[in-house]
Amino acid sequence: MSLFIAIALVTGIKQYTRGHYNNYKIFKYTFLHSLEEKSLYEEYPLEYGDSNHYGPVFALIIAPFALLPDALGTSLWNIANALILCLGFYSLPLPIRTRSIIALVCAHEALVALLSFQFNVGLTGLIMLSFSYLISQKEAKSAFVIALGTLIKLYGIVGLAFFFFSRNKWRFIFSGIASIAVLLILPAMLSSTDYVIRSYADWYSSLTEKNMHNASLTSMQDISLMGIVRRVMQDASIPNLPFLAGGLLLFLLPYTRIDQFKHTPFRLMLLSSVLIFTVIFSSGSESPTYIIAFAGVAIWFMIQPSPKNKGIIFLFVFAFILTSMSPSDLFPKFIRDQYIKPYSLKALPCVLIWFTIIYQMLKLDFKNYKNYGIE
């Protein structure tokens, strides 16, 4: 955990002193604009570049940091996200050594996201917490975490994928409904009910518009399975729907193996699948989003039977080099600029690993799954 706090602090100070904290300004002004009842989703070029795409409740989350001077708020925001991520890692039903290795493997991806002050770091932790709370029979906590993540950034809704691991499904459902009801109206503390209702409508419109712009051959987004195909084919008109439909079908197939639900390795495989699926099937995925997917890669690798076969090791090393290290200065700039970015190749190893996970979930008997990394 100390490593992640150090990374968060260093990245926060570095980016603030260089004036590279536009995302934090966007976050900060969601709070300030809520107080003034200004649109949360308009562009304000005199205050920051780009526009906000987080839900109205995010104004309350960022409030404690927005009230501080930017020099302090930026670093504390990164530290808070890093702590949530660590809570997620260390909540997993794995030995402490295994959890520590998973966290260490993800450290570089976390650094990439923290350099942009991305909430994806905290969101990754929330998704893992929603899983861990649910299998620990803490349904109310799990439902609240899912509701919070969803109403900040829609990716959080993937926590519902763990619903069938719940022993008290009605408690989970009622807790979820109550959490959503409270969180939906809570932003009115800063403004008014009418303003909050209008903001949710504006949020939907902004997300719809953003999705239309993501499917581009030159944007920094669309680092996804669809993005690879669109950019290799040089055809931005290739639609998302066939990929989403096929991907969702494959994602759901392991749910037919009801007899495997009770086994921890199967559950962790599903967690890995969820984390990767969320990113590789989203046209909004960009490089800092991959902390979500790479957490799934790390969990998947660490729960493989020992000794790990060469194919599994190859896929993990391929992912570590191409997905995690490609944004860094350690990677050849020419290859990064001429091939990886133009063709969304950062997504490729995660795509291959996700298909491997689906195959394993459909074929393996997790009752007899031998692995020394699982409690």
pLDDT confidence of residue 209: 81
**Cα angle vertex 29, ends 183, 224, to 5°?**
75
- Residue 370 pLDDT greater than 90, yes or no: no
Of the two residues 39 and 371, the one the predictor is more confident about is 39
Reduced DSSP (H G I as helix, E B as strand, rest coil) percent helix, strand, coil of the chain, to 5? 70, 0, 30
Identify the H or E element spanning 161.
Answer: none
Average pLDDT, the chain: 93
pLDDT confidence of residue 333: 87
Q: What is the mean pLDDT of residues 169-191?
A: 96
pLDDT confidence of residue 374: 60
Q: Give per-residue pLDDT as tens, 59-77.
A: 999 999 999 999 999 999 9
Can you say whether residue 37 is alpha, beta or left, with left for phi > 0 and alpha for psi between -120 and 50 degrees? left
CA dihedral sign of residues 141, 112, 342, 23:
positive
pLDDT confidence of residue 37: 95
Burial class from Cβ neighbours inside 10 Å (0-12, 13-18, 19+) for residue 298 reads buried
Contact call for residues 130 and 142 (beta carbons, < 8 A): yes
pLDDT confidence of residue 204: 92
Structure tokens at 288: 């800092």
Q: Give per-residue pLDDT as tens, 271-296.
A: 999 999 999 999 889 999 999 999 99
Dihedral, 217, 220, 226, 231 alpha carbons, nearest 10:
30
Q: Give per-residue pLDDT as tens, 202-260.
A: 999 988 887 767 767 777 888 999 999 999 999 988 999 999 999 999 999 999 999 99
C-alpha pair distances (Å), 176 with each of 37, 133, 148, 153:
28, 13, 10, 16
User: pLDDT class for 373, splitting at 50, 70, 90?
Assistant: low
Residue with tokens 């239309």: 212
